[in-house]
Amino acid sequence: MTDQPCPIRVLTSRTFQRAPSKVRSPFSSSESRGEYHGSMVRTTAVSDSVLKVGISRRGAERLKHGHVWVYRSDVTSADFIPPGSLVTVCDPRGKILGTALYSASSQIAIRMISREPVADFAALLRQRIVDAISYRERVVHNTDAYRLIFSEADFLPGLIVDRYNDILSTQVLTQAMDAAPVRDVMISTLSERLNPASIVERIDPKIRQLEQLPPRASGLLVGEKASTIVTMNGVQFHFDALEGQKTGAFLDQRENYAAAAEYAHGEALDVFCYQGGFSLHLAPHCSQMTAVDSSRPALEIANKNAVLNQSLIRQGLGKNEIEWIEANAFDLLKDYAAAGREYDTIVLDPPAFAKTKRDLDSALRGYKELNLRALKMLRPGGILVTCSCSYHASQADFLEVLGTAAIDAHRRLRLTELRSQAKDHPTLLNVPETSYLKCVISSVYR
Ligand code: SAH
């Protein structure tokens, strides 16, 4: 068996329009819109919630309606509150609304952690981590790679932990979660409960800058092991916690891979393939598979993943290999459509086009262009699996764009499944930011 079953082809030298996406969590840099003034803060040891923060009526209304954030513009008093403190939140009349984590730099100044007073913060953290783990034991099946802790959706705002087989990968997004005592609780609880070979921390320097936290390098917090192999839905993937692109895998698509595999057939095209998540799941059901991404490092890992899954892939492709193409997806779709190419299955899983609300119109135009081109290349009865991970483009926006693309392409679309992120990325009702991924599976008719 060779390491390179199929060389990566470079289709075009045109410059890429979009940079590879990094972390596609709505809780990352896009929400921390605080200005960075150059000074670094040291987070305090979070102990008890005697510090008080006053909020406006509008802020209080927001909490009353179930949200957990209060923006800085709704903070009326927060004098001498150290960054990252546990605070008691009061409405304009002085009524206590609960306990929150305070950020001195983010536009999201308050993230509620409890509606009650918190006497022992370490114990609360520990309990929340244990609860997050037991929730996954109930809802996650057939994989050793999944999100263990999803920030607000697990009532641990600012903390993300992913499990990749025996390696845990953490991300700290806020001042409060960066405090040393919080890190200690996180590491000890995860170690006791899961006994991982290692715990790795991934750093996004932009997030640390926005939170005015001192720079830190990605690295091992516990253990030595930095790479492993994960298996989801019976498909294997290399995972390297410290090298290559920082994202790891797009775990939020795990259930969508399995769903799409049920309908995939014939000649398939996986656009924005990254390390081959959809391609490798769909290949056993297809006669041909072409996969496209602008990131060469991602394609190199995709290629290695194909070697890992060779016997599975051959169930569909026979002697054919997955064809990996390094290209700008927009250019490639245009060229292939002009050349009259046709497919039975097309997957579109681009990076978030709308990183902020202001980007929404241009993002919707981008989604329309992609989907229009894909629809024109699909044979009757063909399957379109189309995704958007832009929180700012709602499911209704996305379906509307898809509808107009279908009209312009003179196609009829029958919706088979309206899907979202995998269950290990739970959605908290009344906190819309916890729901961001759309995955529409449909069949196309002329
Ligand atoms: N489908 C993948 C995740 C895709 S993430 C999976 O399930 O694992 C989005 C991908 O789009 C990234 O791999 C990024 O490298 C790629 N990308 C971004 N802009 C691109 C462009 N203009 N053309 C092709 N690929 C692009």
Dihedral in degrees, nearest 10, Cα atoms 133, 130, 149, 425: 50
* Final residue belonging to a domain, choices 114, 130, 147: 114
Taking only the tens place, the pLDDT of each residue in 379-434 is 999 999 999 999 999 999 999 999 999 999 999 999 999 999 999 999 999 999 99
Residue 231 counted as domain residue: no
347 lies in the same domain as 435: yes
Residue 188 counted as domain residue: yes
**For residue 295, which atom of ligand 1 is closest to its CA?**
15
* Burial letters 284-307, b for 16+ CB under 10 A, else e: bbbebbbbbbbbeebbbbbbbbbb
Decide if 389 is catalytic: yes
**For residue 274, which atom of ligand 1 is closest to its CA?**
13
Question: Among 273, 387, 389, 439, which one carries the catalytic annotation?
Answer: 389
Supply the pLDDT for residue 249: 83
Cβ(349)–Cβ(374) below 8 Å: no
* Final residue belonging to a domain, choices 87, 114, 141: 114
Domain range for 170 is 121-226
CATH number at residue 162: 3.30.750.80
Residue 336 counted as domain residue: yes
Total-model pTM:
0.90
Cβ(321)–Cβ(279) below 8 Å: no
Residue 123 makes CB contacts below 8 A (sequence gap 6+) with none
Residue 240 counted as domain residue: no
Q: Identify the helix (H) or strand (E) that includes residue 383.
A: strand 378-388
Residue 222 counted as domain residue: yes
Name all residues whose Cβ lies below 6 A of ligand 1: 16-18, 20-21, 250, 253, 272-275, 277-278, 293-295, 298, 328-330, 349-351
Taking only the tens place, the pLDDT of each residue in 227-286 is 999 999 999 999 999 875 555 789 999 999 999 999 999 999 999 999 999 999 999 999
Residue 390 counted as domain residue: yes
84 lies in the same domain as 131: no
Local structure of 389: helix, strand or coil: coil
Supply the pLDDT for residue 248: 73
131 lies in the same domain as 86: no
Residue whose entry in the numeric block shows the structure tokens 């002697």: 319
The protein residue whose alpha carbon is closest to atom 10 in ligand 1 is 272
CATH number at residue 77: 2.30.130.10
User: Residue 224 has which token pair?
Assistant: 């030595």
320 lies in the same domain as 440: yes
- Residue type present at position 195: N
434 lies in the same domain as 415: yes
261 lies in the same domain as 403: yes
Supply the pLDDT for residue 33: 28
Work out how many domains the chain is built from and give that number: 3
Backbone angles phi, psi at 304, to 5 degrees: -65, -40
Local structure of 445: helix, strand or coil: strand
Which residue ranges of the chain lie beneath pLDDT 70? Answer: 1-49, 244-247
User: Distance, CA 275 to ligand 1 centroid (Å)?
Assistant: 9
* Final residue belonging to a domain, choices 114, 149, 168: 114
Closest CA relative to residue 45, chosen from 84, 78, 79: 84
DSSP 3-state helix, strand, coil percentages of the chain (rounded to 5)? 35, 25, 40
277 lies in the same domain as 349: yes
User: Distance, CA 432 to ligand 1 centroid (Å)?
Assistant: 24
Residue 43 counted as domain residue: no
254 lies in the same domain as 335: yes
**For residue 389, which atom of ligand 1 is closest to its CA?**
5
User: Distance, CA 389 to ligand 1 centroid (Å)?
Assistant: 11
65 lies in the same domain as 136: no
The protein residue whose alpha carbon is closest to atom 6 in ligand 1 is 277
Distance between CA atoms of 395 and 393, rounded to whole angstroms?
7
301 lies in the same domain as 181: no
103 lies in the same domain as 127: no
Cβ(89)–Cβ(53) below 8 Å: yes
* Burial letters 8-40, b for 16+ CB under 10 A, else e: beebeeeebeeeebebbbbbbbbbbebeeeeee
Distance between CA atoms of 403 and 388, rounded to whole angstroms?
15
Residue 2 counted as domain residue: no
